[in-house]
Amino acid sequence: PWTTEWVMAGSHFVQNYWFISLLVITALAVGIKHALKQPKIRFWWDDRVLHMPGFGKVARGINTARFARTLSILSSSSVPLLEGMRISGGVLANKKMKKSVADAADRVSEGASLRAALQQTKLFPPMMLHMIASGEASGELDSMLERTARMQENTLQAKITAIVGLFEPLMLLLMGGVVLIIVMAIMLPILN
């Protein structure tokens, strides 16, 4: 049966080519790591990460929470908004978001509000933008940024907990599928 042939071919491949496979995987990992050090490739990769289903929201949440937390601390320490935005953009891990925040800082220096500048990036969640607008209107931007950062961190923690919660059942299903294929590969020739 095809399952038996497939399992035997996989076993022969691992026995005969395990060293070459290990070398190829290692070379691939080193090559990817080296490629991601190139600025253009890293920018392209970070842009792709932000649009990945599921993982993109987590990456965006990590960076927006970090931005809001840093800007909140700087704003409460009486650092000017433009300088605070530039410093807060510098702590972001994602190059695409870092460039978007730098562009937003340029728009703020031209007279735009912080909310309008961040909204044009299309990377920040609407609730965060609404709270920033409320903070700008009331003159309590630093406290609203603090509240926004806390809200973003709580949302991010809930998403990570949900993903980890889904990981265990998915691993059980995957391992169950592998065991089923191996059992079928052994039992089908006997039954036939």
pLDDT per residue of the chain (192 residues) written in tens, 0 to 9: 888 888 889 889 988 988 999 999 999 999 999 998 999 999 999 999 988 887 888 888 889 989 989 988 988 888 888 888 899 888 898 899 999 999 999 998 888 888 899 888 888 888 888 988 888 888 888 888 888 889 888 988 988 888 888 888 999 999 999 999 888 888 888 887
The pair of three-digit structure tokens given for residue 44, joined into one six-digit string: 């392209």
- The pTM assigned to this predicted structure is 0.75
Nearest CA to 71 out of 53, 83, 57 is that of 83
143: its two tokens: 């406290």
Are the CB atoms for 115 and 138 separated by under 8 Å? no
CA distance 5 to 51: 39
